[in-house]
A and B are shown apart, each in its own frame.
Chain A
């Protein structure tokens, strides 16, 4: 099964707050791949399609978000999530 990984620094002001979390999960749900997020490569890894779980990460500005995905569209899924983070969730 294809697998992809990437990382991006959270540079938006509020970090993984409510609205950015909602946007991230909405993007993640467009892909069939299993997508997981962590603030450390050692985990814990969190399901990127669950807004409740993503908000509980409480990641703040300056933290590194690690993204990994498994599935046919893993590469484009990881690219889309990283792109969203690098665009500051289109909020700034």
Chain B
């Protein structure tokens, strides 16, 4: 099982505090078996999201098994989509943005990933949160 990489999780928030706090929850609840990166705020330290920061996070959490992205508000999704476009073509197909709440989705996705599940199953675990309500 150790030979198979786990799906990476990227957290994109408008706030660095939200991003860091969410990553803390993931690490404490799930552990360190999942490649994880969290970004929030713009390069000036204010609220916002920035494509290049998301791109760096995608590269940090990159896994051959793929990466799921959890976003908060609109711009986070737009900048994530642009960052995906900047990734190498053979990697783009293995990066998905989840339609899920940021904090709970990140924890659920990481939990699923830590068990070695493939990309689509990890995505489903995060999105299942919305489906059941």
Contacts and interface: CB of A to CB of B under 8 A. Distances in A.
Interface residues of A, number: 14
Interface residues of B, number: 15
A88 interface: no
B30 to A, nearest CB: 6
A50 B114 contact: no
A50 B121 CA distance: 10
A27 B129 CA distance: 21
B108 A52 contact: yes
Nearest to A27: B115
Per DSSP, chain A at the interface is helix
Contacts, number: 36
A22 B115 contact: no
Interface string A19-51: 100100110111000000000000000000111
B108 A51 contact: yes
B125 A51 contact: yes
A53 B111 CA distance: 13
A18 interface: yes
Interface core residue of B28, B111, B125, B132 (most chain A CB under 10 Å) = B111
Interface of A: 18-19, 22, 25-26, 28-30, 49-53, 56
